């Protein structure tokens, strides 16, 4: 008898394929895992349900897997045995969070290994996606720096932050620092990799200079933040934006005490955000697929420019291109939409992911687009050979009649 390990919570349902080669399992971690029974390996981890998976069934020909969930949906999965495309790399199984570092040169993830330790992996995206390191640690959150040299891990139960430095093919512990207790979302690096921000359950946001671990600022007023990708630095690393899904986006600025609020003007909650490369605009993606722009240059009072992208399907991630002319929107159906911001025109659809696109980000080195879904990382060559200086402002819809 053998056991199949990979779920991070109790298993509720299983189903055999008609030829008995595959076994599907699902449960309280909201994921469906398809196993190669003979080898004992997971071949696909399917995500999309918003509550536990209650039932599973294969079609008579074995080509479709159906999953029913407490979220009141039934999903049909196809091509779950397909090999990843050449530009796709399968992610380690069992993860529950993945992160794309600023600049999209490195990604990292964390998953349950056993009842005590979690498995942490990091991955480079250029020249081709490949695993950068693997290690086992007692931590709840982690983040990799934009240059791949630093890793910060955090335990929610105490105020300890461990700083790791990359050496040869793994990270070695560099220092143990004091952070804040009760961190409940992923920390975030600034784009230059010099600062790191953390947010606690009591609503305290704090920022440190990485190598000297000197505190640069601390603010209160960020309660009830649940999104694991809730913190974002602006390009210079002076302002920190925090995504409060049900209310608004709140910004803090190093050296200043007051907070800046940008209330959401849609019924749908905010799913993701990004700051334009010229630091003048904030894009807020909503769960209903709409994208709202805010004018928020440093020193100016922020104001909404209204909706610039209409809703189509649930949006999970958003990113500006390096020249600020395009916007990538990762959707629940696995597609990525590319929008021309100035003309508010859909200029491309990238298809390949079979699950929601958790993360998108452009690499400024070659303008490739990196995307992450629950089971794979993809690199898309979307550069059009054009470059520009500055950025064209989106039209202000708040003044429309």
Please give the full DSSP string across 31-100, using - where no structure is assigned: EEEEEETTTTEEEEEEE--SS-EEEEEE-TTSSEEEEEETTS-EEEEE-TTPPPPTTEEEPPTTEEEEEE
Q: What backbone torsions phi and psi does residue 348 show, to the nearest 5 degrees? A: -170, 150
Exposed, middle or buried, 148 (CB in 10 Å: 0-12/13-18/19+)? Answer: buried
The pLDDT tens digits along the chain (401 residues) read: 678 887 888 999 999 999 998 999 999 988 888 898 888 878 777 877 878 999 999 999 888 899 999 988 888 887 666 555 557 888 877 666 789 999 999 999 887 655 556 788 899 988 778 888 888 877 888 999 999 999 999 987 888 899 999 988 889 999 999 988 888 888 999 999 999 999 988 889 999 999 999 999 999 988 777 676 789 999 999 999 998 866 689 999 999 999 998 876 667 788 899 999 999 999 999 888 889 999 999 999 999 998 888 877 789 999 999 999 999 999 999 999 999 898 888 888 888 898 999 999 999 988 899 999 988 899 998 753 232 223 344 455 444 43
pTM assigned to the model? 0.76
At the second CATH level, the architecture of 88-399 is 7 Propeller (2.130)
Among residues 369, 111, 99, the alpha carbon closest in space to that of 230 is found at 99
Domain ranges of the chain: 11-78, 88-399
């Amino acid at each position: 008898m053998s056991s199949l390990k990979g779920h991070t919570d109790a298993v509720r349902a299983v189903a055999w394929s008609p030829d008995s080669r595959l076994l599907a399992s699902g449960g309280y971690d909201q994921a469906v895992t398809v196993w190669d029974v003979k080898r004992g390996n997971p071949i696909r981890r399917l995500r999309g349900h918003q509550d536990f998976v209650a039932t599973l069934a294969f079609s008579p020909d074995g080509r479709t897997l159906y999953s029913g969930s407490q979220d009141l949906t039934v999903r049909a999965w196809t091509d779950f045995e397909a090999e990843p495309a050449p530009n796709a790399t399968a992610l380690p199984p069992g993860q529950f969070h993945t992160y794309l570092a600023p600049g999209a040169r490195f990604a990292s993830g964390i998953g349950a290994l056993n009842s005590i330790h979690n498995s942490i992996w990091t991955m480079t995206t250029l020249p081709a996606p490949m695993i950068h390191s693997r290690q086992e640690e007692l931590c709840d959150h982690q983040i990799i720096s934009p240059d791949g040299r630093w890793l910060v891990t955090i335990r929610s139960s105490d105020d300890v932050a461990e700083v790791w430095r990359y050496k040869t093919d793994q990270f070695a512990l560099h220092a143990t620092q004091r952070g804040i207790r009760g961190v409940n979302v992923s920390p975030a690096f600034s784009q230059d990799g010099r600062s790191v921000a953390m947010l606690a359950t009591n609503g305290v946001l704090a920022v440190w200079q990485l190598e000297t671990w000197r505190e640069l600022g601390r603010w209160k007023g960020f309660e009830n933040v649940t999104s694991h990708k809730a913190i974002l630095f602006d390009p210079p690393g002076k302002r920190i934006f925090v995504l409060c899904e049900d209310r608004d986006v709140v910004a803090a600025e190093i050296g200043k005490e007051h907070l800046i609020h940008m209330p959401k003007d849609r019924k749908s909650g905010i799913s993701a955000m990004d700051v334009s490369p010229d630091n003048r605009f904030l894009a807020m993606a909503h769960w209903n697929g709409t994208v709202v722009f805010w004018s928020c240059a440093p020193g100016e009072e922020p104001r909404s420019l209204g909706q610039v992208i209409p809703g189509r399907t649930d949006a999970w991630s958003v990113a500006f291109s390096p020249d600020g002319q395009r916007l990538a929107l990762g959707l629940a159906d696995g597609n990525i939409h590319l929008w021309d911001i100035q003309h508010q025109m859909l200029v491309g659809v990238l298809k390949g992911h079979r699950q929601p696109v958790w993360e998108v980000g452009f690499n400024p080195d070659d303008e490739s687009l990196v995307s992450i879904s629950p089971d794979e990382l993809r690199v898309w060559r979307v550069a059009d050979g054009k470059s520009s200086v500055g950025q064209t402002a989106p039209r202000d819809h708040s003044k429309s009649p």
